[in-house]
Amino acid sequence: MPVALRQVHGPLGYAWNLPEAAMTETPIEDEPLMLTPGPSTLSARVKRAMLHDYASGEEKMVSTIAFCRDYLLDICNGKGSHTAIPLVGSGTSGVEAVIGGFVPENGKLLIHTNGIYGDRLLEVARRIRTPHASFRTAPYTPPTAQQFEEALRADPAITHVMVVHCETSTGIMNPLAEIAAVCRRMGKSLLVDAVASFGAFEIDARALAFDALVCSANKGLQAPPGLAWVVAKRAALEETKGNGHSLTLDLWDQHQHLERTGQFRFTPATHLLLAMAEALREHAEEGGVPARQARYRASWRRLVDGMRQMGFSTLLDDAVASPIVATFHDPDDPAYAFSKLYLGMKQRGFVIFPGRLAAANTFRIACIGVVTEADIGRALDALAETLAEMGVRRMGRAAA
């Protein structure tokens, strides 16, 4: 069923095609549409939810936190077996809390990486001195179950495995279900970085049987950045008591306090929590995970097809690409410079990202936030205009 849209214009000429369920008035500020894998453009409704002040212990905040925790468990089939724990900070804060809490001193973590955010897991493990091993696959190649089996058999000391579900430095999807099956078969605990994918992809906590999963407010859930969430298996969380390497990132302690009082241990991000709850209501009204993924996928399909028609090539094959963000090779034309493309797109109402070190000579366009297929069509027109203004004529892949 097609999503009902309403076009909204701001005083500077920017326009949005917003889902009716995601807004009830014009955006609070006239800003470009963020075609980035985070932060993403929020609906006016979510922004408006932040315009209220509450003390942290008021019933409004206690009920807001409870609603958010309950909804996150509901959409990942985690009620009863798992619990949801919020932290103030970016998704990386959640990653650090999980690695520091769930891998004990006598444990060892296996990390897979095929991009910048896999490398981030390695950096966290090094910084907090967590024993770990790792293996790498190319940024355009997902790992196989066999590679995980071989890595685990090669090092019997490994107790935990951590993987990035969607690597947004390129847009690749890693095979979470297959990795989880290997962990179950070999008796290893699974930790998941689902910062980019949670809320837009079906993730079944019971079927995957992960010990902990990290997600962010500001990706598929379309809430403001600044809140990290950890969905943790209750039995595994109990084993983390005393493991925390940091006072503020101690998940066991935060969970105990939440269960006892309904509140954070320390001052919470009250305005962000209010907006998070509103974003989750939007998520439910849109149709939950299936509807959100369908909208992202329709936008991504329009984007990839349109860019290929212009002559651009994608870093990834469609079979392994996520609908969250697409990565394109820079054009092989001396007139091309990403800095000029960025400025031209921003002047026309869109913000895009350069590629990351995982894939040099590339740039990225994301499809998350309040972005629709119609918005992508306008972005393609803006990109064509910008390239013409730059004098770029050859769109083929630039040499590495």
Q: Would you state the structure tokens that stand for residue 139, as one six-digit string?
A: 């940024």
Backbone angles phi, psi at 328, to 5 degrees: -120, 145
Assign 3-class secondary structure to 226-285: CEEEEEEEHHHHHCCCCCCCCCCCCHHHHHHHHHHHCCCCCCCCHHHHHHHHHHHHHHHH
Task: Collect all residues with Cβ–Cβ distance below 8 Å to 315 and sequence separation of at least 6.
Answer: 139, 140, 170, 171, 327, 328, 329, 355, 359, 362
353 with 363: CB under 8 angstroms?
A: yes
Instruction: Tell me how far apart the alpha carbons of residues 300 and 282 are, in angstroms, rounded to a whole number.
Output: 21
pLDDT of residue 11: 36
Whole-model pTM over 0.85? yes
Task: Collect all residues with Cβ–Cβ distance below 8 Å to 384 and sequence separation of at least 6.
Answer: 310
Half-sphere exposure of 29 (CA within 13 A, CB side): 7
Q: Would you state the structure tokens that stand for residue 112, as one six-digit string?
A: 């897979």
Mean pLDDT of 58-80: 98
Instruction: Tell me how far apart the alpha carbons of residues 234 and 48 are, in angstroms, rounded to a whole number.
Output: 35
Q: Of 29-43, 297-311, 325-339, 359-373, which gets the smallest average pLDDT? A: 29-43
Quick: pLDDT tens for 316-354. 999 999 999 999 999 999 999 999 999 999 999 999 998
Quick: pLDDT tens for 123-157. 999 999 999 999 999 999 999 999 999 999 999 99
Q: Is the pLDDT of residue 85 over 50?
A: yes
3-state class (DSSP) for residue 92: helix
Instruction: Tell me how far apart the alpha carbons of residues 273 and 233 are, in angstroms, rounded to a whole number.
Output: 23
Element (H, E) at 147: helix 145-154
3-state class (DSSP) for residue 297: helix
How far CA 277 is from CA of 49, 143, 221, 234, in Å, comes to 9, 35, 10, 23
- For the beta carbon of residue 379, count every other beta carbon within 10 angstroms: 24
Cis peptide before 175 (omega within 30 of 0): no
pLDDT of residue 4: 57
Determine the residue type at 373.
E
Domains in the chain with CATH codes? 5-44+288-390 (3.90.1150.10), 59-284 (3.40.640.10)
Mean pLDDT of 63-90: 98
Instruction: Tell me how far apart the alpha carbons of residues 191 and 202 are, in angstroms, rounded to a whole number.
Output: 17
Mean pLDDT of 190-194: 98
Q: Is the pLDDT of residue 182 over 60?
A: yes
Q: Considering only CA atoms, which of 181, 220, 204, 173 is closest in space to residue 317?
A: 173
